[in-house]
Amino acid sequence: MKNFENLPDIFTFFDGEKVLTADDWERRRKELKDWFTENVFGCYPFGAEKGFTFSVDAVENSDRAIIKRISMHKGDYEGKFSLFLPPHVQNPPVLVYAILKNYEDKFDLSDVDNYEKTPSVTSLPLGVILDRGYAVAAYFVSAAAPDEPEGEKKGINSVLIKKQTSVSARAIAAWSFFAKRIADYLESENQVNAKKMGVLGHSRGGKTALYTAATDERFSFAFVSNSGCTGAAIARDNTGERLKDINYNFPHWFTQVYKSYSGKEEQLPVDFHMLVSLVAPRLLYVTSSTEDAWACPENEFASCRLASEVYSRIYGVKGLIADETPVADKAYHEGNLAYHIKTGKHSFDYYDWLKCLDFLDKKWK
User: Shortest distance, CB of residue 169 to ligand GCU, whole angstroms?
Assistant: 18
Residue type, 248: Y
**Residues within window 187-226 making contact with ligand GCU, judged by CB under 6 A:** 203-204
Q: Considering CB under 6 A, how many residues would be counted as binding ligand GCU?
A: 8
Distance of CA 57 to the CA centre of its chain: 27
The smaller minimum CB distance to ligand GCU, of residues 171 and 229, is found at 229
Q: Is position 13 an interface residue for ligand GCU (rule: CB under 6 A)?
A: no
Q: Is position 85 an interface residue for ligand GCU (rule: CB under 6 A)?
A: no
Q: Could you tell me whether strands 337-342 and 283-289 are parallel, antiparallel, or unpaired per DSSP bridges? A: parallel
User: Shortest distance, CB of residue 112 to ligand GCU, whole angstroms?
Assistant: 25
The smaller minimum CB distance to ligand GCU, of residues 84 and 223, is found at 223
Q: Identify which range of 14-22, 40-48, 177-185, 241-249 contacts ligand GCU by CB under 6 A.
A: 241-249
Q: Is position 241 an interface residue for ligand GCU (rule: CB under 6 A)?
A: yes
Cα three-residue angle 269-35-214, rounded to 5 degrees: 115
**Residues within window 265-304 making contact with ligand GCU, judged by CB under 6 A:** 294
Q: Is position 228 an interface residue for ligand GCU (rule: CB under 6 A)?
A: yes
Q: Is position 229 an interface residue for ligand GCU (rule: CB under 6 A)?
A: yes
The smaller minimum CB distance to ligand GCU, of residues 294 and 315, is found at 294
Q: Could you tell me whether strands 135-140 and 197-202 are parallel, antiparallel, or unpaired per DSSP bridges? A: unpaired
User: Shortest distance, CB of residue 202 to ligand GCU, whole angstroms?
Assistant: 7
User: Shortest distance, CB of residue 284 to ligand GCU, whole angstroms?
Assistant: 18
b/e code 13-50 from CB counts within 10 Å (16+ = b)? eeeeeebeeeeebeebbeebbebbbebbbbbbeeebee
**Residues within window 134-173 making contact with ligand GCU, judged by CB under 6 A:** none
User: Shortest distance, CB of residue 26 to ligand GCU, whole angstroms?
Assistant: 31
The smaller minimum CB distance to ligand GCU, of residues 209 and 280, is found at 209
The smaller minimum CB distance to ligand GCU, of residues 220 and 303, is found at 303
User: Shortest distance, CB of residue 318 to ligand GCU, whole angstroms?
Assistant: 28
Q: Is the peptide bond before 269 cis (omega within 30 degrees of 0)?
A: no
Cα three-residue angle 346-136-178, rounded to 5 degrees: 80
With beta carbons less than 8 A apart as the criterion, state whether 93 and 49 touch. no
Question: Contact residues for ligand GCU (CB under 6 A)?
Answer: 203-204, 228-229, 241, 246, 249, 294
